[in-house]
A = this chain, B = another copy of it.
Amino acid sequence: MSMEEVARRAGVSTATVSRVMNNKTVVKSATRNRVMRVITELNYHPNLLARTLAGGCSRTLGMILSNMENPFFFDVYRAAETLAHTHGYEVAAVNTGYRPEKLLAGIRMMIGRRVAGLAVIASEMEPSFLNEVTESKIPAVFYDLGSSRQGVQNIRVNCRPGIGRIVDYLHDLGHRKFAYIGHHPAYGPAGEREVTFVESVKRLGSAWRTACAQDSLEGGRQAARLLLESGFRPTAVICVNDFMAVGALRELRDRGLHVPQDVSVTGFDNIKLSEFCHPALTTVHIPRERIGRRVVAMLCPEEGSTTAGDIVIDPELVLRGSTGPAPA
Q: Is A112 a contact partner of B47 (Cβ separation < 8 A)?
A: yes
Partner of A78, one of B58, B69, B132, B218: B69
Chain B binder among A3-11, A162-170, A275-283: A275-283
Q: What is the bound-complex CA distance between A289 and B99, given in angstroms?
A: 21
Residues of the B chain whose Cβ atoms lie less than 8 Å from the Cβ of A46: 112
Q: Cβ of B69 and Cβ of A69 under 8 Å apart?
A: no
Q: Are the CB atoms of B49 and A217 closer together than 8 Å?
A: no
Partner of A74, one of B43, B58, B69, B272: B69
Chain B's closest residue to A97 (CB) is B78
Q: Which of A23-31, A198-206, A242-250, A306-314 contacts B (4 or more CB under 8 A)?
A: A242-250
Which chain A residues in 243-260 approach chain B with CB under 8 Å?
A: 246-247, 249-250, 253
Copies of this chain present in the complex amount to: 2
A109 partner, pick from B90, B273, B275, beta carbons under 8 A: B90
Given A43-B132, A272-B217, A276-B246, do A113 and B68 touch, yes or no (CB 8 Å)?
A: no
CA of A217 to CA of B47, assembled, Å: 39
Per the 8 Å Cβ criterion, residues 29-51 of A in contact with B are 43, 45-51
Interfacial chain B residues near A132, Cβ < 8 Å = 43
Q: Is A130 an interface residue (CB 8 A)?
A: no
B93 close to A93 (CB less than 8 A) = yes
Q: Is A111 an interface residue (CB 8 A)?
A: yes
Smallest Cβ-Cβ distance to A111: which chain B residue: B45
Q: What sequence of 0s and 1s flags, for each residue 52-87 of chain A, a beta carbon within 8 Å of any chain B beta carbon?
A: 110000100000000011010010001001000000
A193 on interface, CB distance cutoff 8 Å: no
- 3 A-B pairs closest in CB distance: A48-B112, A278-B278, A49-B49
16 A-B contact pairs sorted by A residue (CB < 8 Å) = A48-B109, A48-B112, A49-B53, A49-B113, A50-B53, A51-B112, A53-B53, A92-B92, A221-B276, A246-B273, A246-B276, A247-B276, A249-B276, A250-B275, A276-B277, A277-B278
Q: Known pairs A48-B112, A221-B276, A253-B278; list 6 more (Cβ under 8 Å).
A: A47-B53, A49-B113, A50-B53, A217-B276, A273-B273, A277-B277
Interface, chain A (partner B; CB < 8 A): 43, 45-53, 58, 68-69, 71, 74, 78, 81, 90, 92-93, 95, 108-109, 111-114, 132, 135-136, 216-218, 221, 246-247, 249-250, 253, 272-273, 275-278
